[in-house]
Structure 1
């Protein structure tokens, strides 16, 4: 085609064959993957297949599979079958694996059997980031996101789902019985006889399904959280941000440093709520950053007094908004936040200017609460806007000052929540986009955790390549 760039003749012979190394330039990320994995002590990390077996057919070294998986998750190729195809047609993979081509079953078994070791590799890459001076900011944003499991919603059972399904079955039985009664009153023709047989078959199937549902209910009620999943037993039904929506899957927690948006700590849980995750994730991030003090910002879903206190005890300063759970505001009455605490007098000042003094301490749900009130309420003009009880009582947790400090920090920095959203929601969006169908391929929590570690490693690799380039990464891994 004259006038266009012409390709090489496929039938053209060359005196010497081209070297495979010529196809992979020095800035190609596969060179870093090769150097990074070769620099790891895979045996110390706990990988199987590091030492050759004394008998039998020689196996692939663990480094071969690890390099293949790191490359795959960097390039949005997660399936073991797709990785098998890449090993036979992708020049980068041919270079990386030295033309080795494991079959998909061997590739899949490596990921399945080496979960804890793969998580340690993800942590080792953070050490490379430290050498590159990318972890200088002692500040993180914490968030959680729901990821789908390999478990259809119809294969997950909760108490409400079982009751709803039983009601549907009972309505179907009632409808078919009514149709049978109608058929009995009609003249018995061949068509009516066939219809009766068909209805009885349907009723038999419904009774069988109800028996299975009863057995499923017993199994469900015996589980700690009264919930079971048939395909992936560790997955759980979780609410999502959309009203009336939900997902059967896992809750992935991450701590993202605020300067370069690198995920420095992550955890996969099957607990749908974030309220009990704050301290654990924040402490893990502090340990990774190797700092004495850490600043962390999270959303209101993490607000829990005990968790915030645990962070304060660990020298972690958290900033997050308090959810408005009291019904007073929605009913047009004063909320607790309208009562000012005067620390020097240990009293609360109400909107009418009266002081509520301390009377006694009691314990509720494991927390020691100080009780305050005043006898001036019965004659107060603002009482209809305050309380329907005789005195308005205020309860104060013994560590309430920790929660008040959190609110003060938020008041001083009202943009903290916007910063949190910009920092920590970007990694989740990127990882889910890379996963394609946005669901895990593995089953059970330990295997899903290994898959998530590879996804986090692929995300962090992409970030660091874009920030410093492959050349500097190679220098850091060889240092």
Structure 2
């Protein structure tokens, strides 16, 4: 006789609870999903088929399908086939969907056709958070992370890669032609000649395809072509490897770590700061927010655009000057005297504001001193030019950038706050996705996937803050 816990016999008749509701406790997260979706105005959010037609076969209500997807993404089940399987065996889903069991094609088509509605549902949840006073003193951290696309590196082409492929195929064609010439000279029949002819025909066909790809690549603005997912791009990841992926931008609230805004891009972080800041301002309903970002976002014109919106930007500047490698004085050694509008060079001479010019679309003021530079003993450490003096360029709005740097210097913990705020959501979402890529292709569909991930993350975050029953109570109170 063992002392282990014993199970019931598989053939024993059991009296199950009369109501399915008895299987789902009051603190089960599915109750929050149910209340949240039932309170949404799905037709105004952009969901299709909210009002069913009176003729034809009835379809599933969008609320039912949205509940299914939110539950799936909360529980790391994103595949439509796996979701279909769960509806047949998962008691929580039986309760949530009222025992409905849509097939995988219906499930997949809903996600594909309701991207706008799903993205607006994600925004609606942030609106709920705002009404619950989750965003009081708004400081957001902005960052981007690379998410693998449904496109292998082999199916991504640049002009150089297309050129290399064509060269290899042309070399193979040349080798096979030489083999055929040798076979023709030989008096004995060669059994491999037919195989060589077949391979040669395939190579010529492949050469034509590659030449078409080369022409298409040259026509692309960024000189890059992805064959499987045309919107994805080859980019460097954190470990300096190169992957065909998307760059997902997020703005995360530093107080409650909620993702207030997100966007899918296929470029680098530079140039995205002002756009994501605007999305965050719209989401929290305020302009006077503080934005934290890393040096990958540093762009003076972009920072100025953020400041013009009423936000405060804190973005460190990376030193991209090559002066140190050349043995020259770095620009940072030239000190600006704002009161006298002059630069003081490392040798102690004053560089005056001589004229204004436009470079790279920016209005720049030129500072130099011909006489002092000509007779300076440190000239060889300052410039490689034998005739012209060292010129210092100053943007006309540089004072605002300097004020931002002063705020950064006064807040040395900014970098730590940014990192611990914005990188955790990315890590969590990638863990939920697993060692895989997006399930869908193109900007529209990939944005839908990310919106579902963000909505699930924010829901789980709010449950952690308020508790399941507390959040359910808040939702009921909001919906009246």
TM-score, scaled to structure 1 = 0.95
Is the CA contact 2:163–2:214 (under 8 Å) kept in the aligned structure 1? no
Match of 1:463 in 2: 461
Q: Does 1:163 align with 2:159?
A: no
Name the SS of the counterpart of 2:432 in structure 1.
Answer: helix
Change (3 A) 1:176 1:408: farther
Partners of 1:239 and 1:140 in 2: how far apart? 25
Return the alpha-carbon distance in structure 1 between the equivalents of residues 445 and 45 of structure 2.
17
Q: What residue in structure 2 maps to residue 201 of structure 1?
A: 198
- CA offsets 1:170-216 (integer angstroms, 9 cap, x no match): 3323443454455566x5434xx123333333232222111111112
Which residue, 211, 216, 237 being the options, matches 1:214? 211
Q: Aligned partners of 1:188, 1:401: CA distance in 2, in Å?
A: 86
1:281 aligns with 2:290: no
Moved more, 384-393 or 75-84: 384-393
Task: Write out per-residue CA displacement over residues 264-315 of structure 1, whole angstroms, 9 at most, x where no aligned residue.
Answer: 1000112x21111000111211222223411111111111111100111112
Residue from 237, 245, 253 that aligns with 1:249: 245
Structure 1 unpaired stretches of 5+: none
Residue equivalent to 1:317: 312
Contact 2:127 2:284 in 1 (8 A): no
Match of 1:189 in 2: 188
CA distance in 1 between partners of 2:177 and 2:357 (Å): 59
CA distance, structure 2, for counterparts of residue 396 and residue 277 of structure 1: 23
Which of 255, 262, 266 matches 2:262? 266
Task: Assess if the C-alpha contact under 8 Å between 1:262 and 1:463 holds in 2.
Answer: yes
1:329-340 residue pairs with structure 2 within 5 A?
Answer: 329-340=324-335
Change (3 A) 1:307 1:175: same
Distance 2:109 2:183 in 1: 58
1:154 aligned partner: 154
Q: Bigger shift: 86-95 or 54-63?
A: 54-63
Q: Of residues 358, 366, 390 in structure 2, which corresponds to 1:363?
A: 358
2:133 corresponds in structure 1 to 133
- Comparing 202-211 with 31-40, greater Cα deviation is found at 202-211
Helix, strand or coil for the counterpart of 1:395? strand
**Helix, strand or coil: the match of 1:60?**
coil
Cα pair distance change 1:307/1:205, threshold 3 Å: same
Structure 2: runs of 5 or more not aligned: none
Residue aligned with 2:339, SS: coil
1:441-456 mapped onto 2 (5 Å cutoff): 441-456=439-454
